[in-house]
Amino acid sequence: MHTDQSIRTRKTLKVRVDPQNPLPVTKGDEFKRTIEQLIELAGQAPFHYTSPEKQRSEKLSGAEPWRFHAIDGFNCRELLEALKDERPMKSSDGIKQMLAAADALILGTWLPERNRRPGRKFHPNVKNMEHIAATGAAIQNLLLAATDRGLNAYWSSGGCLRKPKVLDFLGIPKHEILLGAIFIFPADIPESAHTKTGKNADQRGELEDFMDWVKID
């Protein structure tokens, strides 16, 4: 698919099914390789500043300020069960319904600069703003690559997946901050599933609404 077409075709699609009757997991190693391809393309996004981890350890080969944690369909169902059973990690119905439908879940995190102020997750400085922007660009790369492959995707802010208890359960380091939980859904959606497109899909303005030419007198 041409890049312009991927950008214009990309859309948010949330797929939800009854958590008590999750979709069967049918995707195997070949689909895992597809997910790896999506993340590799995400990693081609631009970034300005070297990640704090790279600054602290020259052993790391990459300087990217993001990390991606991939969860296959089988483990999405395992996480669903954990969210139902463990009270400190209990989730809203929306996250559970999507976990019951997803072929994969990709958690995109960013790495903040060291924070010298106690009680604050990160300092709102230019470097951290750049890290967030770079990770957002990487996630957009991933979404466009998914569109190019005919995959349905939904970029969620994460909901309960942001909870420290859940992140710890998934083995995600405490210093990483979740920016996006990207659900990858089946291409063929069963009739029993509830689907919803992005709420702002019809709110896009015309070019002149968000663009102007700067004139210097």
| Residues 41-94: tens digit of each pLDDT | 999 999 998 887 765 555 556 789 999 999 999 999 999 999 987 665 666 689
Report the C-alpha gap between 167 and 107 in whole angstroms: 10
* Tokens 């970029």 belong to residue: 155
Q: What's this model's pTM, rounded to 2 decimal places?
A: 0.89
What is the rounded CA–CA span in Å between residue 217 and residue 166? 55
- Dihedral angle sign, alpha carbons of residues 51, 138, 163, 100: negative
Identify the band that residue 192 occupies on the pLDDT scale cut at 50, 70 and 90: confident
Determine the length of the chain: 217
- Mean pLDDT of the 187-211 span: 83
Q: Which residues lie closer than 8 Å to 138 by C-beta, 6 or more apart?
A: 42, 43, 45, 64, 66, 68, 108
Nearest 10 degrees: Cα torsion 98, 99, 105, 108: 70
Q: Is the dihedral of CA 30, 31, 32, 33 positive or negative?
A: positive
> Could you give the C-alpha distances from 50 to 40, 96, 131, in angstroms and in order?
18, 36, 9
Q: What is the pLDDT of residue 194?
A: 84
pLDDT tens track for 131-167: 999 999 999 999 999 999 999 999 999 999 999 999 9
The pLDDT assigned to 120 comes to: 73
Residue 203: which pLDDT band, with cuts at 50, 70 and 90? confident
Q: Which two tokens stand for residue 178?
A: 């979740």
Kind of pairing between the strands at 194-197 and 66-72 = unpaired
Higher pLDDT, 198 or 58: 198
Q: For residue 188, what pLDDT band results from cuts at 50, 70 and 90?
A: confident
| Furthest C-alpha separation in the chain | 65
CATH 3.90.1170.30, domain 3-210, yes or no = no
- Taking 80 as the threshold, does the pLDDT of residue 117 lie above it? no
What was the pLDDT predicted at 61? 61
